[in-house]
Amino acid sequence: MVKMADVAKIAGVSVSTVSHVLNDTRAVRAETRAAVLAAIEQTGYTQNTIARALVTASSGLIGLSIPVITNPYFTDVIHAIETNVSATGYTLILTDSREDPEHELRALRALLQRRIDGLIIVPAAGDNQLALEHLAASSVPTVLIDRLASADFDQVGPDNEEPSAQLVEHLADLGHDRIGMIAGLSGLTTTRERLAGYRRGLARHGLLYDEMLVAGGGSQIEGARAAAHTLLALPNPPTALVVANNLMTIGTMKALRETGRRVPDDIALTCFDDFEWADFFSPRLTTMAQPRVELGNVAVELLMRRLADPKIPPRTVRLTPQFMHRDSCGCTLEQRMATGQDKEVSNPSSPPV
C-alpha cells in the first residue's frame, strides 16, 4: 500500500507538506504543489478519509437518503444535489430508504457511523418520528427535501396546495363538475397537501367534495391503474382527473387505454409532476411541473449555510411549480396560446392515450 511518506520521498518534500497539499491546510508554493500532485499521480496514492476524519473532525462526506431512487423525479433531484455537492468539494453518499421508516432509520445510522458532515433526506412515508429524533440528537446538519416533515430542520419543497387547486380550477373552468383525483401514498405530507389543494379548488367553484371521486394510487404505477379503474367503474364516473404524481400518471393512462377512454374527448387529464416525455404523448399532457433542479440546488445551499453556522434558525423554503398547458385538459389551441405556455410541439407518431 502506498503511504504518504512514499509520495513525500518522490516529490522531495516533507510528509507534512504532502498533508497540507491534500487537505489545503496551509499555503504551498505552486511548484511544490505541482510536484506533490505529480507524485500522487505516479504512485496512485489514495488518502485515508477515515484517518483524516479523526484528525480534522471532517470526513468530507454528505449523506443523501431517498425513498424511491428509481423514480425519474428523484433521479433529477439527485443529479442536481450531486452536482452542487461535488462543486463544494464534498463527496455524496446515497442510500435508498425504500419508503420504509424502519429501513430508513437503519440507513441513517449507517450514514452517521461514516461520520458524514451533513445530510439531505427525503423523509420516508409513515411514522418517521424516530428517524427525525435520531437526527436531531446527532446534531448532524440536516436538510429535509420535497416532503416537509418538521420545521425544526432546514427544509425545501414545492408548494403543493395552491398548484393542485389550480389544476382543479382549470378543469372546472372548462365545465367539468365531476372531477376525480388519484391521490398519492398515505402518510406523506405531499399527499395531504395535494388533497387539501384538490378540495380548495372544488370549494372555489362551489363544487361539493365527494369521497367517491378520490382514490388512492399509492404513488405507484399499478396502484394508480387500479385506482383509475375504480373511478371509471362508478355509475357516474368523473369527466376529468387530477393525478398526484408522475408514476401514477402512467398507471392512469394504462387504465384509460384499457377502458377505451380517449383523452381529452372522453375524459380530461391533468397531472402533478412533469417529465421529459410529457410533451411527446398524443395528446400532450397538461401538468404542474415541479422545479426539480432548483429543489436540489436550494437543498445544498441550505446545507452549506448550516455547516458554516450551525446555530442559525432553521428555514423552510417553498418553491412554486409551473403550469404546463398542453392538450390533455381539452383546451383549444387558442386557449393554450392565450396562456403563453403552449410549446406547439407535437409528435403524431406517439401512441394515443
List, by residue range, all CATH 3.40.50.2300 domains of the chain: 61-158+292-319, 161-290+322-339
CATH number, span 61-158+292-319? 3.40.50.2300
Write down the pLDDT at residue 327. 94
For residue 210, which of 242, 244, 180 has the smallest C-alpha distance? 180
What distances in angstroms separate CA 48 from CA 38, 51, 120, 204, one per listed residue?
19, 5, 24, 61
Assign 350 a pLDDT band (cuts: 50, 70, 90): very low
Our CA angle for 77, 78, 84, nearest 5°, is 95
- Return the C-alpha cell found at 18: 504532502
- Give the residue-averaged pLDDT of 186-199: 96
Write down the pLDDT at residue 333. 79
Per-residue pLDDT at 296 exceeds 60: yes
Is the separation of the CB atoms in 12 and 35 below 8 Å? Answer: yes
Per-residue pLDDT at 54 exceeds 50: no
263 phi/psi in degrees, rounded to 5: -105, 130
Write down the pLDDT at residue 352. 33
Q: What CA–CA distance (Å, rounded) separates 87 from 80?
A: 11
Write down the pLDDT at residue 185. 95
pTM: 0.80
- Give the residue-averaged pLDDT of 314-332: 96
Assign 213 a pLDDT band (cuts: 50, 70, 90): very high
Give per-residue pLDDT as tens, 67-90. Answer: 987 788 998 899 999 999 999 889
**Percent of the chain topping pLDDT 70:** 91
Is the separation of the CB atoms in 190 and 156 below 8 Å? Answer: no
| C-alpha R_g of the chain | 25
Per-residue pLDDT at 346 exceeds 60: no
Give per-residue pLDDT as tens, 238-282. Answer: 999 999 999 999 999 999 999 999 999 999 999 999 987 777 777
Is the separation of the CB atoms in 322 and 166 below 8 Å? Answer: no
Indicate the DSSP class of residue 145.
E
312 phi/psi in degrees, rounded to 5: -70, 150
- What CATH class does 161-290+322-339 carry? alpha beta
Write down the pLDDT at residue 230. 98
Q: What CA–CA distance (Å, rounded) separates 353 from 338?
A: 25
Per-residue pLDDT at 98 exceeds 80: yes
Write down the pLDDT at residue 52. 52
Q: Judging by beta carbons within 10 Å of its beta carbon (0-12, 13-18, 19+), is residue 317 exposed, middle or buried?
A: middle
Phi-psi region of 115 (alpha: psi -120 to 50; beta: other; left: phi over 0): left
Give per-residue pLDDT as tens, 110-142. Answer: 999 889 999 999 999 888 888 999 999 999 999
For residue 189, which of 157, 164, 237, 218 has the smallest C-alpha distance? 157
Is the separation of the CB atoms in 118 and 140 below 8 Å? Answer: yes
Write down the pLDDT at residue 351. 31
